[in-house]
Structure 1
Amino acid sequence: MGIHEAWFVVIAFLFLGYFVLEGFDFGVGMLMPILGRGAGSEKRRRVVLNTIGPVWDGNEVWLITALGALFAAFPEWYATLLSGFYLPFLVLIVSLILRVCAIEYRGKIDDPVWRARCDAGIGIGSWIPAVLWGVVLANLIRGVAVDSDKQVTGGLLDLFSPYALLGGLTTALLFALHGAVFIALKTADEVRVDAGKLAVSLAVPAVVVTGAWALWTQLAYGKGWTWIALGLVLAALAIALPLARAGREGWAFGATAAAVASLVVLVFGSMFPNVLPSTIDSAFDLTIHNASSSAYTLRIMSWAALFTAPVVIGYQAWTYWVFRQRISMAHIPPPIGLRTR
């Protein structure tokens, strides 16, 4: 494996980590209004939100690292992608900022109206990225109108083809299922029971939609070996359903995480060796070679990553271990935010 191929794998791994970890964060935010209903709704919502409380900001670091590595290793890919997808990425980033602010400031003011607005921000900031990431991934595989100057010449609507829209629905359903299983894994009492039931309800549409998009991807753009990734996606989702129904949340979460990871492998495997295909002319495709930094730059980056990556991954693993216990409504203290009156 050459240095260019190695860094393509690194970029793929960073996005894999981001989607596996941030995927259940999105799912929690998407499902909080559903699982937060009923008696003691405010405590239920706080239980659901606290499942990701210690880890959600650390999960977002994977995206920052992935984009930083993309900029350094493949600057032409970074420049063309972020300029050509300017509006979708702008909406995505604004929604992520909205979610951050809503999570951080939800408990600062003890007022139902304030909390309702923050909950809406959490929901919007979870649903929009969950859909848009699928649209972006679909266009990375399908390609866009890249010209000889490495500029995207197509309009905004060109990004929302039927294939891309199905990709957005796929990631939304998959992240929702991933989040439901995670909530069931991290909670106790009735919240755990309701999350488990919701996971079972989400499993069938997630399997159907994800299977349809993954099969479309494989038949239209896949390689011979990516059939393995497709099989792993379908097998992991099929296993997650009976595990969730049986209350084996830990194994079910492992299955949904494997499904998300396998889907990312299918996406990047279908792209390779392209990083952004051109629908105008294949001669204008951005590849791991014509979009990369120099070999010397990539070698320097490799040494830096070799020493820093294990520390970062080890620290995050330790964080998950420390906060591994389940949360129940009995653990939720009274609100301590400022009162408006």
Structure 2
Amino acid sequence: MELTTVWFTLIAVLWIGYFTLEGFDFGVGMLLPVLARNERERRMMINTIGPHWDGNEVWVLTAGGATFAAFPEWYATLFSGFYLPLLLILVALIVRNLAFEYRHQRPEQSWKARWDLSIIIGSFVPAILWGVAFANIVRGVPIDGTLDFTGNLFTLLNPFGLLGGVVTLLLFLTHGAMFLALKTDGDIRVRARALSVKLGLGAAVAAVVFLIWAQVETGNVGSAVFYVLAAAALVGGIAMARAGREGWGFIGTFAAIALAVAGLFVGLFPDVMPSTTDAAYSLTTTNASATDYTLKVMTIVAAIFTPIVLAYQAWTYWVFRRRISEHHIPEAELETAGR
């Protein structure tokens, strides 16, 4: 296998890791005003992702860095053409991260409410815009003979791209509700499980329409297999959640997102950014790649450090595997928060 194919596959894996892990973070953040009825439940929801959200974001940083090093032409065209959406995502993530750090620094309820709003908005914006961005990457964008993006923001806001944003939004909401049902106990667990089923049905309908449309755009048989498996995993996860099997329900949404993203990359290959102007102007794993020497050095580094990072992140999930219930939230802190 050529190193360009190896690194295309590794970048796909990084994005799969990001969407499956950060996806439930976004979902929990967006569901904060829907499921939490009081400060104790808001604290419970935030605490479920407290040990994980910053580690989950490492996946997107690594994906961006790997793209820059392995496929510099792809990185240049993508980040210049998608500059405004990516900037909005970056700002949203910064505000969201600040909210997690600063929310508990002062006791006033008004202070907490403002940071809660930052968490909600900072979760909604990336959840939608990542879907818009990836839908456009798969469908193709106007690229000229110098490998420059010739469109604008409104070029990206086409029906296919907007549907992609709706799909990621609904999938992440479902994934977040599944995670809350898995990680909490008590009344909020029951509400989260019931909501995950309702959201999952909406996500399933939107995802099926989008994946069929994506299949028509790419015409790749291999991607169709992944799309069918993704749909089956999502339906299975919804059925498991409805039966009260939250663990299997979460695995279902996790697998659905992973398989759908894998299908998008399979449908994209060997292109990395198809051109709608002329197929000859498309960026591919060949014309967008770095030198062979660079890829060899990167492969050695990745082979050494990737298992270490994966082992460490798996360990953190194991350590914080227990459910969170109301008695885990100190009463003294709640009394202070209400002042």
SS in 2 for 1:289: coil
SS in 2 for 1:107: helix
TM-score (normalised: structure 2) = 0.98
Q: Aligned ranges for residues 185-224 of structure 1 at < 5 Å?
A: 185-224=182-221
Q: Hey, what's the Cα distance between the residues in 1 that align with 2:74 and 2:217?
A: 22
2:44–2:329 Cα contact (<8 Å) kept: yes
Distance change >3 Å, CA 190–CA 63, structure 1 → 2 = same
The one of 133, 138, 156 aligned to 1:136? 133
Q: Aligned ranges for residues 146-225 of structure 1 at < 5 Å?
A: 146-225=143-222
CA displacement, residues 96-150 of structure 1 (integer Å, 9 cap, x when unaligned): 0010011111111101111111110000000010000000000111111111111
SS in 2 for 1:95: helix
Question: Equivalent residue for 1:32?
Answer: 32
How far 1:335 moved relative to its partner? 2.3
Q: Following TM superposition, where does structure 1 have runs of at least 4 consecutive aligned residues deviating by more than 6 angstroms?
A: 336-341
How far 1:28 moved relative to its partner? 0.4
- Structure 2, unmatched stretches of 5+, are none
Q: Which amino acid aligns with 2:90?
A: I
Q: Hey, what's the Cα distance between the residues in 2 that align with 1:19 and 1:199?
A: 18
Q: Hey, what's the Cα distance between the residues in 1 that align with 2:56 and 2:65?
A: 15
Q: Aligned ranges for residues 94-109 of structure 1 at < 5 Å?
A: 94-109=91-106
How far 1:306 moved relative to its partner? 0.3
| 2:226 maps to 1:229 | yes
SS in 2 for 1:110: coil
Q: Hey, what's the Cα distance between the residues in 1 that align with 2:71 and 2:134?
A: 17
SS in 2 for 1:275: strand
2:138–2:264 Cα contact (<8 Å) kept: yes
How far 1:303 moved relative to its partner? 0.4
How far 1:155 moved relative to its partner? 1.6
Question: Equivalent residue for 2:85?
Answer: 88
CA displacement, residues 250-309 of structure 1 (integer Å, 9 cap, x when unaligned): 111000000000110111111110001111111110000100101111011000000000
1:11–1:70 Cα contact (<8 Å) kept: yes
Q: Which amino acid aligns with 1:281?
A: D
Distance change >3 Å, CA 98–CA 222, structure 1 → 2 = farther
- Structure 1, unmatched stretches of 5+, are none
| 2:258 maps to 1:261 | yes
How far 1:339 moved relative to its partner? 8.1
Question: Equivalent residue for 2:333?
Answer: 335
Q: Hey, what's the Cα distance between the residues in 1 that align with 2:139 and 2:239?
A: 34
Q: Hey, what's the Cα distance between the residues in 1 that align with 2:133 and 2:314?
A: 28
1:28–1:183 Cα contact (<8 Å) kept: yes
Aligned-pair identity in percent equals: 52
The aligned length equals 338
1:108–1:336 Cα contact (<8 Å) kept: no
Question: Equivalent residue for 2:277?
Answer: 280
Distance change >3 Å, CA 339–CA 124, structure 1 → 2 = closer
Q: Hey, what's the Cα distance between the residues in 2 that align with 1:339 and 1:27?
A: 24
1:146–1:153 Cα contact (<8 Å) kept: yes
CA displacement, residues 203-228 of structure 1 (integer Å, 9 cap, x when unaligned): 11010001110111112214111121
Q: Hey, what's the Cα distance between the residues in 2 that align with 1:309 and 1:327?
A: 30
Q: Which amino acid aligns with 1:45?
A: R
Q: Hey, what's the Cα distance between the residues in 2 that align with 1:210 and 1:110?
A: 42
Q: Hey, what's the Cα distance between the residues in 1 that align with 2:337 and 2:162?
A: 43
Distance change >3 Å, CA 98–CA 337, structure 1 → 2 = farther
CA displacement, residues 159-203 of structure 1 (integer Å, 9 cap, x when unaligned): 010000000000000000000000000000011111001111111
Q: Hey, what's the Cα distance between the residues in 1 that align with 2:290 and 2:52?
A: 33
2:137–2:274 Cα contact (<8 Å) kept: yes
Q: Hey, what's the Cα distance between the residues in 1 that align with 2:69 and 2:95?
A: 28
Superposed CA RMSD in Å reads 1.4
How far 1:338 moved relative to its partner? 8.7
How far 1:340 moved relative to its partner? 11
Q: Which amino acid aligns with 1:163?
A: F
SS in 1 for 2:272: strand
Q: Which amino acid aligns with 1:33?
A: P
How far 1:316 moved relative to its partner? 0.2
Q: Which amino acid aligns with 1:115?
A: K
1:108–1:338 Cα contact (<8 Å) kept: no
Q: Which amino acid aligns with 1:203?
A: G
Distance change >3 Å, CA 222–CA 96, structure 1 → 2 = farther
